[in-house]
Amino acid sequence: MASLYTKTKLYLEANSKTWEAEQDNIILQNDTGTDYIHTWNVSGVSKPTDSQIASYETAGNTAEALSGVLIKRKKEYKDFGYQLDLLYHDMTAGKLDNTGEWHKHIKAVKDANSKE
């Protein structure tokens, strides 16, 4: 189940707003065991109804799954210094194609953590 944060973020984006710009105008709360929008002071966009928020469930699940994949990839990629060294050695060896070590490293991480 997608979080209220994710669904609210998607609702804002659908209304040409961003969470980053509006986060001080919104308070999400859970003091009753259920997540809800406690405060909504977004100029030009009305507070979403429960059904509007619920309509973002599928998109929210997709966004959260993608975020998880990207976080996992980031952890598995070698640091930039290591990657630059791989690229340098690939350049020296004339392997700036899919036979180079840098490409193999990136492909292995992407294959192990597919977006699909």
Query: DSSP character for 79?
Result: P
Distance CA 69, CA 89 (A): 29
Query: What mean pLDDT, rounded, does the chain reach?
Result: 97
What would the pLDDT profile of 44-61 be if each residue is shown by its tens digit?
A: 999 999 999 999 999 999
Radius of gyration of the chain (CA): 21
- What pTM, to 2 d.p., does this model score? 0.76
Measured from the Cβ of residue 17, the count of other Cβ atoms closer than 10 Å reads: 18
Class of 1-68 in CATH: alpha beta
Residue 2 pLDDT > 90: yes
Q: Where are the domains of the chain?
A: 1-68, 77-116
Residue 116 pLDDT > 90: no
